[in-house]
Amino acid sequence: MSSTGLAQTGEEKINERINEGRRGFFRRSAVGAGSAILVEAASVPPAIAKDSEDGPASPSTRPFIEVLPVPMIKQPLAALSPAPAITRGDGECGRDDHQRWGDFEPVKLYELHVKEALHSFHRDLPTQPVWGYDGIVPGPTFVARYNEPVLVRIHNDLPANHIGWGSPEITTHLHNLHTASESDGFTGDYYSATRYGPTLTGPGRYRDHHYPNCYAGYDAYPLTHGDSREAMGTLWYHDHRLDFTGPNVYRGLSGFYLLFDALDSGDENDPNPEALRLPSGVGEYDIPLVIQDRRFDRKGMLYFDPFNSDGLLGDKFLVNGKIQPLFEVERRKYRFRILDGGPARFYELYLQYKNADQEFTYIANDGNLLPAPLAMKKVRLGVAERADIVIDFSKYPLGSQLFLVNKLQQDDGRGPDDKLLDKPVQLLRFDVKAEARRPDNSRVPARLRELPPIPSAADLKKLRTREFEFDRSNGGWTVNGQFFDISKPAAQVKRGSEEVWVLKGKGDWHHPVHIHFEEGRILSRNGKAPPAHEAGRKDVYVLVPGEEIRVFLRFRDYEGKYLMHCHNGMHEDHAMMVRYDVVP
């Protein structure tokens, strides 16, 4: 921050301490009830970049010495106590009853503990407190299958007396599972042992989330338990606490949830002739990658500005929680599921080998397989967008190094510039270390997943059409000129209906607009058909200034309240959100 008076004095003191010597010192940080987390703040290397209005320049960190963490797979439990039931249990927050419990009795039970724990972003920075699902950042990866409903009990073990940005109540959204409203992590459904949000009826230490893992169109296609063309593969879960989503997620609250079915089966040696046999083995050759930009203060501690409502931009890039890591690969195909984990930055990602852009195979957008793979050399992602790509490292000799880089210039939290960086920022290094350990039987077939049909142009014209304008007003962010009203739906949509939603971006800001509950199909961007990689199903629609996107949506199988909002963490917290209800 630019500084005068007091702030300068404080900073001078800190610089003195850094120059004092190599002795570490302990600093007592936020104290929860009975628990203290001691942090060793070693001398940190001085920053080489300049401070910006987004905050201090982070201390320098050596690139490509951290190894990419590969997420541990969440294991189910034999039982939960109290046993999960339709109605809230003893100690559970005041949620509504689970809809359609009998249709989707859970076959797997899980328990997550949201807690404060220590994390090392990089060995050149102090190990420090974060908030993590099961205390890890990113949280554990769920591996789930269609037609295998699960129940996840999410405990809030965060310190009630937390000091600093963020708020220790939680509500977890699984982005973007087709799920009942009471398990969707509605933003007002936040809970802790002592507090609760406006749409719950009481506090509680935990909440049961019922994830049916059913295809959308369950009622319309009973013989196949839903429309299998509606399958999703790459989802993520994160906190969604009203007013504090940006900082809570920034503190570490996100993780992956992967879904498989008979087609995208997760087994590259699958004997089923229908199976795609994409590169498989979560954590082996099927790797989720979450990219997050962050900023650290002069002591090397995670820095956040709660007074920023434009969008915070970091100057350090985490992949799966580590700054600029490396990943050793075999000379074979890998599937990477890339997520822009925010809070606000847009990326244009390239794969570079000897400074030349390499081709890769793009197979899924926002977790939805396309009808056919695309050969591409770049991927643009807004916050919460996902891209699944396949890279074939057998094209490169042993000892090669490739880089996942970002070329998109962005200096303003409101949106990227229209320019590419002269010097791309290297996010992740792939080290081609070994031959394939076993024969690579994976493939990327010419046909992936068929798309469900959408109405003809003539029929689309007959559908209910709603317009939503995303704008700014007196320092806050609006949808149709209004700020978020948690008790009044901006749209009441009949269950089973089809509609066209028109998203319009006003002013000169970018907004990654996310619609909960259902995937949509982009019909047009400014009147033109979307590019091939956006012509399938999506759930985040990046609105560019002055743009109009028409989205086709179906609303099926459940009733209740859901959300549509900008996924820029600072915009959604400053009210760029609407509630919509699916009604009978």
Partner 1 sequence: MNARRALLMALSAAALMPAAAGARTPIQPGRTGPRAGYFPNAVFETHDGRKVRFYDDVVRGRLVVFNMMYTACAGICPPNTANLMAVRDALGNRVGRDVHLVSLTLQPETDTPAALAAYARQYGTGPGWTFLTGQRADMEQVRRKLGFYDTDPAEDGRLSRHTGMVAIGNERLDRWCMMPALTPHKMIAHAILNMA
Summarize as ranges the residues that interact with partner 1 (CB under 8 A): 2-7, 9-10, 52-53, 161-167, 169, 195, 197-198, 242-244, 306-310, 411-412, 414, 473-476, 483-488, 573-575
Shortest Å distance, C-beta 15 to partner 1: 14
Shortest Å distance, C-beta 487 to partner 1: 7
Q: Exposure of 105 by Cβ count < 10 A (0-12 exposed, 13-18 middle, 19+ buried)?
A: exposed
Shortest Å distance, C-beta 243 to partner 1: 5
Cβ proximity to partner 1, 269 vs 473, nearer residue = 473
Cβ proximity to partner 1, 8 vs 87, nearer residue = 8
H-type alpha helices, 167-265 = 245-250
For the four alpha carbons of 551, 555, 556 and 558, in that order, the dihedral sign comes to positive
The 3-class secondary structure across 269-331, one letter per residue, is CCCCCCCCCCCCCECCCEEEEEEEEEEECCCCCEECCCCCCCCCCCCEEEECCEECCEEEEEE
d(CA 379, CA 361): 11
Cβ proximity to partner 1, 531 vs 546, nearer residue = 546
Cβ proximity to partner 1, 30 vs 532, nearer residue = 30
Shortest Å distance, C-beta 462 to partner 1: 35
Shortest Å distance, C-beta 476 to partner 1: 4
Give the distance from CA 412 to its chain's centroid: 21
Three-state DSSP class for 228? helix
Shortest Å distance, C-beta 489 to partner 1: 13
392's CB contacts (< 8 A; 6+ apart) are 332, 333, 361
Q: Can you read off the two tokens belonging to residue 285?
A: 């050759």
Cβ proximity to partner 1, 260 vs 484, nearer residue = 484
Shortest Å distance, C-beta 573 to partner 1: 7
Cβ proximity to partner 1, 169 vs 385, nearer residue = 169
Shortest Å distance, C-beta 131 to partner 1: 14
Shortest Å distance, C-beta 559 to partner 1: 23
Cβ proximity to partner 1, 13 vs 437, nearer residue = 13
Torsion of the alpha carbons at 225, 362, 387 and 322, rounded to the nearest 10: 130
Torsion of the alpha carbons at 27, 30, 240 and 308, rounded to the nearest 10: -60
Shortest Å distance, C-beta 202 to partner 1: 13
The 3-class secondary structure across 435-500, one letter per residue, is ECCCCCCCCCCCCCCCCCCCCCHHHHHHCEEEEEEEEEECCEEEECCECCCCCCCCEEEECCEEEE
Which stretch of DSSP H or E encloses residue 569? helix 569-573
Q: Break the chain down into helix, strand, coil percent, rounded to 5.
A: 10, 40, 50
Cβ proximity to partner 1, 129 vs 166, nearer residue = 166
Contact predicate 231/536, CB 8 Å: no
Give one word for 490, left, alpha or beta, with left for phi > 0 and alpha for psi -120 to 50: alpha
Cβ proximity to partner 1, 272 vs 492, nearer residue = 492
Cβ proximity to partner 1, 310 vs 534, nearer residue = 310
For the four alpha carbons of 417, 423, 429 and 430, in that order, the dihedral sign comes to positive
Shortest Å distance, C-beta 508 to partner 1: 9
Cβ proximity to partner 1, 297 vs 498, nearer residue = 297
Cβ proximity to partner 1, 486 vs 535, nearer residue = 486
Shortest Å distance, C-beta 482 to partner 1: 9
Cβ proximity to partner 1, 191 vs 257, nearer residue = 191
* CA-to-CA dists, residue 222 to 103, 216, 217, 422, angstroms: 11, 11, 8, 54
* CA-to-CA dists, residue 391 to 234, 335, 347, 481, angstroms: 17, 7, 19, 44
Which stretch of DSSP H or E encloses residue 116? strand 108-119
Shortest Å distance, C-beta 165 to partner 1: 7
Q: What is the end-to-end Cα distance of the chain in Å, rounded? A: 52
d(CA 512, CA 413): 12
Identify the CA nearest to 211 among candidates 241, 180, 170. Answer: 180
Please, what's the b/e burial string for 535-571 (b: 16 or more CB within 10 A of its CB; e: otherwise)?
A: bbbbbbbbbbeebbbbbbbbbbbbbbbbbbbbbbbbb
Reply yes or no: is the peptide bond before residue 343 cis, omega within 30 of 0: yes
Please, what's the b/e burial string for 52-83 (b: 16 or more CB within 10 A of its CB; e: otherwise)?
A: eebbbbbbebeebebebbebeebeeeeebeee
Shortest Å distance, C-beta 513 to partner 1: 19
Cβ proximity to partner 1, 12 vs 40, nearer residue = 12
Cβ proximity to partner 1, 26 vs 307, nearer residue = 307
Shortest Å distance, C-beta 467 to partner 1: 21
